[in-house]
Structure 1
Amino acid sequence: MPKYLYKNLITGEIYELTQSMRDDPHTHHPETGVAIKKILARPGIAFKGSGFYVTDSRPKDTGSKGSE
């Protein structure tokens, strides 16, 4: 199950809670009952580079095909 970030509305503390994607966001902390709000976070992965193509994982061709 995915983990989501929640912020305590009183203290500002950040919580990481596990819940199903189908569940509604929590409005109160499940253990303490304190009011919380779901916050957005960056994804855990970042794709960098010019693109994602078949040729990206192959060795670069030097352009020389041998001497004729």
Structure 2
Amino acid sequence: MSNTEWLLCPICKNKTRIKLRYDTVLENFPLYCPKCKIETLICVKQFKALVITEPDALDAEPITR
């Protein structure tokens, strides 16, 4: 088994510029894909990438006091 793998974009499934080792842990990492030009927030542990879906601050309703 290989010790390193390329991190794939969760949107278009192409290689990004990030290479992972088996022991790499990323939390709340802003992954930018040069092909589809989309930035995605991810968490990675043991080559498993999980997309974090949070509401954008621009889409949220303003807080009124």
Q: Same fold (TM over 0.5)?
A: no
TM-score, normalising length: structure 2:
0.27
The answer to which structure, 1 or 2, has the higher relative contact order (CA under 8 A, 6+ apart) is: 1
Larger Rg: 1
Between Structure 1 and Structure 2, which shows a larger proportion of helix residues? 1
Between Structure 1 and Structure 2, which shows a larger proportion of strand residues? 2
